[in-house]
Structure 1
Amino acid sequence: MASEQFKLNNSQQLPLQAGYSVNANVNLGKVTSKQTLLGKFEDELNSQRRR
């Protein structure tokens, strides 16, 4: 890979190189991916509390 560019919403481009870390927030409709993942743990925790 010679070079890669990440395009931002305002048409800016950022150079990327191998080894760069990336963080992203992904929205699934009105529910974020974080809520989706944590929801499974919350459900399990709540079921354990009921016992």
Structure 2
Amino acid sequence: MKALSNGVHQLTEIGLLTALITISGAVKLPGLMPGTEFQLSAPLAVAAKFA
């Protein structure tokens, strides 16, 4: 039963991270020069990898 609970927890976590990365991928902070926008999904993906 514990293995099933762990699998459900992992699947839920992956789903939530996917949703957050998808939403934050649509948000870009403007840069000083054209083409230097900062996309918020990259830091979130790196943080999720090491969390």
State the TM-score bracket (shorter-chain normalisation).
0.3 to 0.5
Normalised TM-score (structure 2): 0.35
Higher strand share: 1
Higher helix share: 2
In our comparison, the structure showing a higher alpha carbon Rg is 1
Normalised TM-score (structure 1): 0.35
Relative contact order (C-alpha < 8 Å, sep 6+): which is higher? 2
